[in-house]
Amino acid sequence: MTVTSESRTELDRTRFFIDGEWVAPRGTETHVALEAATETPLGVASLGTDADIDAAVRAARRALDEGPWGRTTAAERAAVMRRFADALAARADGTAMLVSRENGMPIGLSNAFNGAAPAGLLHLYADVIETLPLEDVRPSPSGSTVVRREPVGVVGAITPWNYPQVLAMMKIAPALAAGCTVVLKPAPETALDGYVLGDAAAEAGLPPGVLNIVLAGREAGAALVSHPLVDKIAFTGSTAAGRLIGAECGRLIRRCTLELGGKSAAIVLDDADLATFVAGLGDASFQNNGQTCTVQSRILAPRSRYEEVVEAVAQFARGMTVGDPLDPAVTCGPMASKAQLDRVLGYIDLGRGSSARLVAGGGRPADLSRGWFVEPTVFADVDNSERIAQEEIFGPVITVTPYDGDDEAVRLANDSEYGLGGSVWTSDEERGLAVARRVRTGTIGVNYYLQDLGAPFGGVKSSGIGRELGPEALDNYLEFKSIYASADQLGR
């Protein structure tokens, strides 16, 4: 979209946060951010070049090797992180509203994940690093060995548009706690909110270069991945992009964490309480308008109760309130972009052209002429080999597939290249846990699905490598060094 005087607003972000300052871009390319619900301009943001990425990485390197950050204690880092958290908390309401305008996320969900969660994660990792022994002395055949935890170095963090604030902080918070420095590259689809992190970091007194933020597209993102002064890449996004990043990190012998796509299954067992199942559908299968990597978009229903389950899901979808994401009553906002809308509608057309049965939705809402809205859509009688059952759609499109017996349900759940989320619905929790243990996935819930920020999160198979969240996430940002010493070190 061409930048005009009419497209410029008070939300414009035409500078990058590098080395503790707001600096002019090296290039001239810009991106006009459009409001998902109205398609009108929100603001104009500069897009970074390889030179901007290089400046940010070099600032991060200096802060680590020459600046004070590389010499801080855990307690000093924790104090800075808590100030950072307070600065973000003071901005939480405005940040949540901005993200909802950018990507269509319902405001209640945005308040939780883009407003409250980033500050909460900073507090969590500040607490963890203060209680984690950074050195451990062990007896050895020659005396002792000091096992030391040290920061991995400069981290390149690349984040998507669907949960921009919390996904950024899932990387920033443990990296800062470990003593690393960070270059964050947010997605252009949510071009404006990432710089709130820079404002808060400056207010909190993060030393220059500890956190740098450059909005950029794929080419500059590739420059970040391959930059010789970067020690680790932390990426959340598509599996296709993750494969390219993983290949480059492998070529460079560079550490990476990849949180990628999903096509998760909700297994409804034959003894499930449908009221409980329906009450959990919003979080499990329709969260954030379906623009969530963990949504259980494949529902597996026992043949003995199949039509009952199909009708329950269809009724839920028909009952969702589609509209302005800033309205607290709305349960399904728009897609984040025109491209995403077209993608979702394309998959709906695929479903219509298959042997599946459309039981809810199937197009754009008739009463919403502006904005990237799509009806919550449900297809029944879907063969698990169909593209709509195998490929990640990233929208409010659900498939329902019948099965006979728990063994077939587990087989169908595992018949996917992905393994990120999942759920089991049953009146017998022990039976549900037994089924959950057989599903090859990184996370799974029994009678609900709600992410626990204090527990490790990540996927298997094509859903990624490594884990974020929980105390375990710190290991992504630490290196272990063994120092061979004398027995005098024992007991100190």
Please say whether the beta carbons of 206 and 84 come within 8 A.
yes
State which H helix or E strand residue 42 sits in: strand 41-46
- DSSP secondary structure, 325-386, as one string: TTSTT-SB---SSHHHHHHHHHHHHHHHTSS-EEEE--S--TT--SSS----EEEES--TTS
Query: How far apart (Å, rounded) are the C-alpha atoms in residues 406 and 411?
Result: 9
DSSP 92-157: HHHHHHHHHHHH---HHHHIIIIIIHHHHHHHHHHHHHHHS-SEEEEEETTEEEEEEEEE--EEEE
Domain spanning 5-260+459-482, CATH architecture: 3-Layer(aba) Sandwich (3.40)
Instruction: Decide whether 5-260+459-482 matches 265-446 in CATH topology.
Output: no
289 in the Ramachandran plot: left (φ > 0), alpha (ψ -120 to 50) or beta? left
- Nearest 5°: phi and psi at 135? -135, 140
How many whole angstroms separate alpha carbon 380 and alpha carbon 382? 5
Would you state the torsion angle of the CA atoms of residues 5, 326, 102, 365, taken in this order, to the nearest 10 degrees?
A: -100
What would the two tokens of residue 203 be? 């207010």
What CA–CA distance (Å, rounded) separates 43 from 101?
11
State the sign of the Cα–Cα–Cα–Cα dihedral 137, 139, 145, 147. Answer: negative
Report the DSSP pairing between strands 41-46 and 30-34: antiparallel
The confidence score (pLDDT) of residue 1 equals: 46
**Is the separation of the CB atoms in 476 and 462 below 8 Å?**
no
Comparing CA positions, the residue from 358, 345, 357 lying closest to residue 318 is 358
What span, in angstroms and rounded, lies between the C-alpha atoms of 227 and 183? 11
**pLDDT value at residue 3:** 45
- What CATH number does domain 265-446 carry, 3.30.420.480, 3.50.50.60, 3.40.309.10, 3.40.50.2000? 3.40.309.10
- CA 21 from centroid of its chain's CA atoms: 27
Indicate which residues carry an active-site annotation. Answer: 259
Domain boundaries defined on the chain: 5-260+459-482, 265-446
Task: Please list, in sequence order, all residues whose beta carbon lies within 8 angstroms of the beta carbon of residue 275, skipping any fewer than 6 positions away.
Answer: none
- Separation between Cα atoms, residue 213 and residue 177, nearest integer Å: 18
pLDDT at residue 9, as a whole number: 53
Q: What pLDDT is attached to residue 4?
A: 47
Is 57 buried (19+), middle (13-18) or exposed (0-12) by CB count in 10 A?
buried
CA pair distance 272, 261, nearest whole angstrom: 28
pLDDT at residue 8 in the model: 47
Question: Would you give per-residue pLDDT tens digits along the chain (492 residues)?
Answer: 444 444 445 688 999 999 999 999 999 999 999 999 999 999 999 999 999 999 999 999 999 999 999 999 999 999 999 999 999 999 999 999 999 999 999 999 999 999 999 999 999 999 999 999 999 999 999 999 999 999 999 999 999 999 999 999 999 999 999 999 999 999 999 999 999 999 999 999 999 999 999 999 999 999 999 999 999 999 999 999 999 999 999 999 999 999 999 999 999 999 999 999 999 999 999 999 999 999 999 999 999 999 999 999 999 999 999 999 999 999 999 999 999 999 999 999 999 999 999 999 999 999 999 999 999 999 999 999 999 999 999 999 999 999 999 999 999 999 999 999 999 999 999 999 999 999 999 999 999 999 999 999 999 999 999 999 999 999 999 999 999 999 999 987
